[in-house]
Amino acid sequence: MDVLQLLVSGLANGCVYGLIALGFVLIYKATEAVNFAQGDFMMLGAFITLGLTNEQFWGLPFWVSVPIAILCMGAFGYLLDMLVLRRMFGQSQVAVVILTIALGFVLRFAAGVIWGHQPVSLESPIAGKDVRFGGLVLGLDEVTIIVVTVLLTVLLYFYFNRTKLGVAMQAASQNQLAAYYMGIPVKRIHSLIWALAGAVAAVAGILFASKGSIDPSIGLLGIKAFAAAVIGGFGSLPGALLGGIIVGLIEPFASYYIAAGYSQIMPYLLLFLILVFRPHGILAQVHRKKV
Amino acid sequence: MRTVFKTSYDADINYFRHGAQAAWYMLLLVLALCLPFLMGTFWIGEMTNMLIWAIAGMGLMILVGQTGQASLGHAAFLAIGCYANVLLQEKLGVPFLLSFPLAGVIAGLAGALIAMPMTKLHGIYLAIGTLAISILTDDLIVIAEPLTNGVVGLFAPTIDIFGLQFDRYATPDRFYWLVLFVAVVIILVYRNILRSPLGRAFAAVRDSEVSAQAMGVNVARTKALSFGISTAITGLAGALMGHFAGIFNNETFNIIISIQLLLMIVIGGLGSIHGAFFGAIVVALLPQAIAISRDLVSGFVGGGTVAIPGLESAIFGALLIGFILFEPMGIYGRWLKIRTYFELFPFYRKDMFRRQKSYLKTERMR
């Protein structure tokens, strides 16, 4: 029974990591940029929902504030790309990495000023309830997280492979110049991708906030999600989810079977091993570089 | 603008391009040497801190600026240098004069060892790998408690060289001169690496790995060497940082320090020694600047001095965003533009430093 509980809570954690990783991969897939502030996007999404929902601030109903928060983060992503990241067009990846790290600092500060640095919890209807499957008692929050994540991933997978816009996004990611020649509005596509990543981050944030209290520094969770994305294979959507789940599962099991102090280093140890032996992740999408 | 008439091949690799330049740098050195007579104890401490950051920045600059390998994990090597230096002194009784270079060697070996499997990685993957190393080191320090004293931390002893005491608090001037000496030596080492074939190999790897390989540069070996030299210098900076801080634990060298170090050299300007120093000035003096301006503002407005948590890193981040967007060459790049403007007056054109437009192609699907 213990093992099953660990499994479900690990899966739920892993799904949140997976959703953040999904945001990384979305942006990387389409714009070749790596958004180190994705964890802070999630934090911002969670705090916007909290600011709209909680009695202490606006006190809107939860189901009203969720779509508003997702829309807000989408708009934020779109504007961020339009106003800031578009200027970075065609520059090195590392410059974008540094820019987004700096952005994370600023976002964390802004959230701290607006909502304070104390941990607060979201007044969410899915927090703290149980569901029963036969003799099994599971947290409603954990089950919801898993279900929502799976749905979202399937949706995104079909979006990228089946819809015109999704294919256009893939084309823009593979060769910007060729995509231009094919009449794809690459710049707008990039902004849309950032909006999508913002929206996914908001979903991740809402799910994470339903599970426990949040404070502005949870954005640093992004680093772990980042490890997850790399373990799964950067540039692969199912890979991001897989990596997230692996990281989510490895933590509780390591602290249960080895020792508590070792649980937090296991994901990074795994990341290091993956980078050494299979540098492009489990579900790799990389082909050999030519001149 | 002074045109240098080159009469020998050495003119290309001399330390200074012409006599006037040498004179200016000598003047700067003399000024740096006289600083303890001009400043109070507090500001000498700040200047020492700045120099230590500059040494660490030069270490990272060799890797990022010269070889083009981004590292987000250099705090790990600061930690290795710092712990190696203090543990050698405390546990084995090695004098500082030996333990200090040994700390650099240990950090360098660790860096080269870690670099070997990582040289396959490019750009962003390398950054992630080094990030993992930084986090792992942080946790390993806690786990290796019998040696490192875990989260409680270690005390750095007073430095003793042939009976002369160097201490941050008791003899801040002497400590400053010691750090200045190390910084000058590192600058010389850095310059000489750039003048040597190794430095050219670094630049070749940075600009294009494929063409470097075609020119006969062993890319994996060059990267590993760059890692080794870079981490060795960073380790030395870490050792000094330990003595400067007095007491340190795993938190002293956390992941934020790694990131800050990388951000620092970007603000300063990638690919030059000047950049490391400009960046260090920003990082070391920003907290003081904020404190002073806060006092000024509260003096005008009359409000209390309310500390806003995270303000420092937010200003740092905003500065950085500004620099990346508008001046990717950093402070040093801006300085070069200003200098060229005056040298060529009135013939400076806006497009002289314009970046080439390029289209990005994926590294995934070719």
The position carrying tokens 């400076």 is B348
Looking at the complex, report in whole angstroms how far the Cα of residue B48 sits from the nearest Cα belonging to chain A. 26
The position carrying tokens 């006969």 is B216
Per the rule left: phi > 0, alpha: psi between -120 and 50, beta: everything else, A156 is alpha
Kindly state whether residue A6 falls inside one of the protein's structural domains: no
pLDDT at A10: 85
The mean pLDDT value for A128-155 works out to 79
B34, burial (CB in 10 Å: exposed 0-12, middle 13-18, buried 19+): exposed
Looking at the complex, report in whole angstroms how far the Cα of residue B124 sits from the nearest Cα belonging to chain A. 7
Phi, psi dihedrals of residue B349, rounded to the nearest 5°: -115, 150
Collapsed DSSP state (helix, strand, coil) of residue B159: strand
Regions of chain B where pLDDT drops below 70: 1, 123, 301-309, 355-366
Q: Detail the DSSP E strand segments found in A116-188.
A: 130-133, 136-139
- Residues of A in Cβ contact (< 8 Å) with B255: 223
CB atoms closer than 10 angstroms to residue B320: 23
* ipTM given for this complex: 0.81
Half-sphere exposure of A97 (CA within 13 A, CB side): 21
pLDDT at B226: 93
Do the chains contact at A99 and B123, CB–CB below 8 Å?
Answer: no
Strands A130-133, B247-248: pairing kind: unpaired
pLDDT at B83: 92
Nearest Cα to B55, choosing from B233, B175, B269, B178?
B233
Domains in chain A, number = 1
Nearest Cα to A62, choosing from A49, A80, A75?
A49
Pair A29, A37: CB distance under 8 Å: no
Q: How far apart are CA B171 and CA B354, in angstroms?
A: 48
The mean pLDDT value for A184-195 works out to 89
For residue B263, give the nearest of A101, A286, A290 by CB distance.
A101
Looking at the complex, report in whole angstroms how far the Cα of residue B325 sits from the nearest Cα belonging to chain A. 7
Kindly state whether residue A109 falls inside one of the protein's structural domains: yes
- Residues of A in Cβ contact (< 8 Å) with B306: none
How many residue contacts between A and B have a Cβ separation below 8 Å? Answer: 148
Looking at the complex, report in whole angstroms how far the Cα of residue A102 sits from the nearest Cα belonging to chain B. 4
B322 at interface of A, judged by CB pairs closer than 8 A: no
Q: How far apart are CA A282 and CA A229, in angstroms?
A: 10
Helix (H), strand (E), coil (C) string for B104-148? HHHHHHHHHHHHHHHCCCCHHHHHHHHHHHHHHHHHHHHHCHHHH
Kindly state whether residue A278 falls inside one of the protein's structural domains: no
CB atoms closer than 10 angstroms to residue A129: 12
Q: How far apart are CA A248 and CA A149, in angstroms?
A: 13
Domains of chain B (ranges; CATH) run: 35-353 (1.10.3470)
Phi, psi dihedrals of residue B152, rounded to the nearest 5°: -70, -40
Full residue range of the structural domain in which residue A93 is found: 12-218
Per the rule left: phi > 0, alpha: psi between -120 and 50, beta: everything else, A74 is alpha
A171, burial (CB in 10 Å: exposed 0-12, middle 13-18, buried 19+): middle
B314 at interface of A, judged by CB pairs closer than 8 A: yes
Q: Which two tokens stand for residue B205?
A: 């790897």
Q: Which residues pair with A120 in a beta bridge?
A: A214
Nearest Cα to B137, choosing from B29, B252, B52, B45?
B252
Kindly state whether residue A209 falls inside one of the protein's structural domains: yes
For residue A94, give the nearest of B123, B131, B355 by CB distance.
B123
Q: What is the pLDDT of residues A61-89, one digit of tens each?
A: 888 888 999 999 999 999 998 888 888 77
Nearest Cα to B139, choosing from A13, A214, A260?
A260
pLDDT at residue A199 greater than cutoff 90 = yes
B266 at interface of A, judged by CB pairs closer than 8 A: yes
- For all residues of chain A together, what is the average pLDDT? 83
Phi, psi dihedrals of residue B63, rounded to the nearest 5°: -75, -50
Kindly state whether residue A288 falls inside one of the protein's structural domains: no
- Residues of A in Cβ contact (< 8 Å) with B309: 112, 117
Do the chains contact at B121 and A91, CB–CB below 8 Å?
Answer: no
Kindly state whether residue A286 falls inside one of the protein's structural domains: no
SS3 content of chain A, % helix, strand, coil (to 5): 75, 5, 25
CB atoms closer than 10 angstroms to residue A52: 20
Do the chains contact at B132 and A227, CB–CB below 8 Å?
Answer: yes
Cα dihedral B21, B24, B29, B31 in deg (nearest 10): -170
What's A222's DSSP letter?
H
Among all residues of chain A, which has the CA nearest to that of B65? A94
- Residues of B in Cβ contact (< 8 Å) with A230: 125, 128
Looking at the complex, report in whole angstroms how far the Cα of residue A5 sits from the nearest Cα belonging to chain B. 27
Phi, psi dihedrals of residue B219, rounded to the nearest 5°: -65, -45
What's B53's DSSP letter?
H
Among all residues of chain A, which has the CA nearest to that of B261? A98
Give the B window 119-158 contacts with A, CB below 8 Å: 120-121, 123-125, 127-129, 131-133, 135-136, 139-140, 142-143
- Residues of B in Cβ contact (< 8 Å) with A286: 363-365
pLDDT at B304: 53
Do the chains contact at B325 and A264, CB–CB below 8 Å?
Answer: no
Do the chains contact at B132 and A175, CB–CB below 8 Å?
Answer: no
Do the chains contact at A99 and B143, CB–CB below 8 Å?
Answer: no
Nearest Cα to A17, choosing from A279, A213, A211, A285?
A211
pLDDT at B357: 55
Do the chains contact at A102 and B321, CB–CB below 8 Å?
Answer: yes
pLDDT at residue A289 greater than cutoff 90 = no
Kindly state whether residue A233 falls inside one of the protein's structural domains: no
Looking at the complex, report in whole angstroms how far the Cα of residue B208 sits from the nearest Cα belonging to chain A. 10
Do the chains contact at B259 and A94, CB–CB below 8 Å?
Answer: no
B259 at interface of A, judged by CB pairs closer than 8 A: yes
Kindly state whether residue A19 falls inside one of the protein's structural domains: yes
Half-sphere exposure of A58 (CA within 13 A, CB side): 15
Pair B298, B113: CB distance under 8 Å: no
Looking at the complex, report in whole angstroms how far the Cα of residue A230 sits from the nearest Cα belonging to chain B. 8
Q: How far apart are CA B260 and CA B266, in angstroms?
A: 10
Cα dihedral B280, B284, B287, B293 in deg (nearest 10): -70
Q: What is the pLDDT of residues A97-119, one digit of tens each?
A: 888 988 988 998 888 888 888 88
| H or E segment to which residue B239 belongs | helix B219-245
In chain B, the N- to C-terminal Cα span, in Å, equals 47
Positive/negative CA dihedral, B235, B238, B242, B243: positive
pLDDT at residue A291 greater than cutoff 80 = no
Q: How far apart are CA B179 and CA A82, in angstroms?
A: 46
